[in-house]
Structure 1
């Protein structure tokens, strides 16, 4: 993580300018729309990386620190509002500008808190000129920098991760479909509380939540260890009715190396 923060610091201290191969992360679950948008942006001199849903988007943001995120709202696993809240709450990514791309313009008022955190939005069906002009404006006005976050900021980010976990766990298929993501969110929250305590060792809220997360995570890992992990898909199968995410119907007719080796 330290290397990522150093890379982010180098990236965020440089000016972001249109035409200097700024990197845009395009997050869209429709492959055809994602490829179309990506083609338009590349033809306009931008470097493009892609994500097909909210979970993949968060991973790409942490790995690549893009100059801008073009974010669809209605997506599987995690919607755009959840992605936006986590990006803007994370002290390491909060200054990355976000442009919402959505066909649900009539619902924007219902999500004003998430919209307020984004820099702009473009409605579908988008017009190429409007889309490019909006991205250009946001990039030119972006003030992307790497600054030292407070213990309170890290604590708030950790708590937001825990709130996101609650949304996942409220689903009936939480552990058969989202176990890997839930564990990752617990790890992210724990890392956030550790960061807060590194800055302010006496921070009572961070200490309380860190201890709670450590206890809960240890219990969950013991429960998950009762089922064998699938090394291919990072989900679990076998016992207690938990199925393989790749082969939910059971052992496939063709050779599946994970079934054979576990």
Structure 2
């Protein structure tokens, strides 16, 4: 009877082990993406020229085109899901999205929670103010001032670190509107976003008051863990390939007018 019981336990252990092995393999994100034939990419769709809607209401931008290139090289379709900034990472955590593509800067705080791919862009942060503003000329001058930014963004956090009080906004247009109307003193944003806005609104009374000395890395965040390792390796390989071929530089010049891979 004991031998029979031991045999049954061993069989159950073997079955459980096989089951766990299959489950572990099925959790590999790259394998799941290839099985589905699509990669789910989260983005705002409101931050030109990274990700925005053109005159035909089509989702376009640097991140959108690069996301499609990466998907194509993975042999799958890129499916973009638009959401507000704060919910992009919540959706990534909940596994509603495979990756986030939204000009995400790498920070120490974010790196504690997410793994990041190789950088695909390098950007500086600008303090943007109304053209006649002479009170803000450095980041230290933000102390006691008001800024407009997406709350929980890198820019809002940086503004707060210098003593500013950020007001939450939904997109760049709303941000600039608050600055021009005098309802806030400044906004912090990517330098390239300022130049893109000015190219579309050449008469806007805006200027850059200051820039960060060092450029920040822009990368793709993934959930931490073994399930994303193979996807990370593959995306890094593709980014390196696009850099070597010059495609990434060409894409950057197309949307920003400069090569963000070389800053």
TM bracket, shorter-chain basis: under 0.3
| Higher Cα radius of gyration | 2
Higher relative contact order (CA 8 A, sep 6+): 2
Q: What TM-score does the superposition give when structure 2 sets the normalisation length?
A: 0.27
TM-score by length of 1: 0.27
The structure in which a higher percent of residues are helix is 1
